[in-house]
Amino acid sequence: MDKCYNKTMKNYLILFWIFAKIGTFTLGGGYAMLPLIEREIVDKKAWLDRTEFLDCVAVAQAAPGILAINVAILAGYKIMGVRGSLIGSLGAALPSFVIILLIALFFRGYQENPAVQRIFMGIRPAVVALIAVPVFHLSKTAGINGKTLWIPAVCAGLVWLLKVSPVYIILAAGLGGWVYARRKRRTP
């Protein structure tokens, strides 16, 4: 770990609470949670800088599993080691688990209700916006600008329009980055 944090019970509880409250009150999944996680652990607590957070998000996206849990594991580990990764992932997963359990218990009787269906129809556009915000924010942190905007646009087009597997996109991007770095090192 680059930085040494006080691994007291209080800080473990703070880490748990950060991920638990974000997991409890955020609609839209992992991407909607990213700006809130960043605000808490980068801006407010300064446990990670923006580059470290972006690295956590990049690895979390490449790893199998749920994005928010992966970010909690990686950020928790970076902040407080193995216990931090366990505490962060538990904080991120527990609220969703409880909420889904409660919905499963009570929703069956109401899912055909027209009012409930209209509520979910209204939530959908808001969820799209909640996903779009972190994409724009992360693109700024990643250094996407007018000259490099074509890269994510082409990748999105390949996945969306041509149905290319994201695995191939990630592998090609990794290979391209490696080739670019080698060529840049050779150039005086």
Given a contact cutoff of 8 angstroms between Cβ atoms, the answer to whether 66 and 55 are in contact is no
Same domain, 90 and 174: no
Residue 4: inside a domain: no
Percentage above 90 pLDDT, the chain: 38
> What confidence tier does 172 reach under pLDDT thresholds 50, 70, 90?
very high
> What confidence tier does 41 reach under pLDDT thresholds 50, 70, 90?
very high
Among 106, 128, 143, the domain boundary falls at 143
What is the reported pLDDT for 17? 94
Same domain, 132 and 153: no
Which residue range forms the structural domain that includes residue 184?
145-188
Residue 2: inside a domain: no
Question: Within a 13 Å sphere around the CA of 95, how many CA atoms are in the beta-carbon half?
Answer: 20
Distance between CA atoms of 153 and 135, rounded to whole angstroms?
12
What is the reported pLDDT for 1? 41
Given a contact cutoff of 8 angstroms between Cβ atoms, the answer to whether 40 and 15 are in contact is no
Distance between CA atoms of 146 and 16, rounded to whole angstroms?
39
44-49 contacts, C-beta under 8 A, 24 or more apart: 45/14, 45/18, 47/3, 47/5, 47/75, 47/78, 47/79, 48/75, 48/78, 48/79
Residue 159: inside a domain: yes
Task: Summarize pLDDT for 90-132 with one digit per residue, the tens.
Answer: 999 998 888 888 887 877 777 788 888 888 888 888 888 877 8
Q: pTM (2 decimals)? A: 0.61
Same domain, 45 and 132: yes
Same domain, 57 and 33: yes
Same domain, 138 and 165: no
Same domain, 28 and 101: yes
Same domain, 108 and 37: yes
Distance between CA atoms of 34 and 80, rounded to whole angstroms?
19
pLDDT above 90: residue 18: yes
Same domain, 173 and 97: no
Distance between CA atoms of 54 and 60, rounded to whole angstroms?
10
Same domain, 151 and 129: no
Same domain, 61 and 123: yes
What is the count of structural domains for the chain? 2
Residue 3: inside a domain: no
Distance between CA atoms of 23 and 19, rounded to whole angstroms?
6
Residue 165: inside a domain: yes
Instruction: Tally the residues of the chain.
Output: 188
pLDDT above 80: residue 2: no
Same domain, 126 and 136: yes
Measured from the Cβ of residue 36, the count of other Cβ atoms closer than 10 Å reads 19
- How confident is the model over 144-173, as a mean pLDDT? 91
Same domain, 174 and 127: no
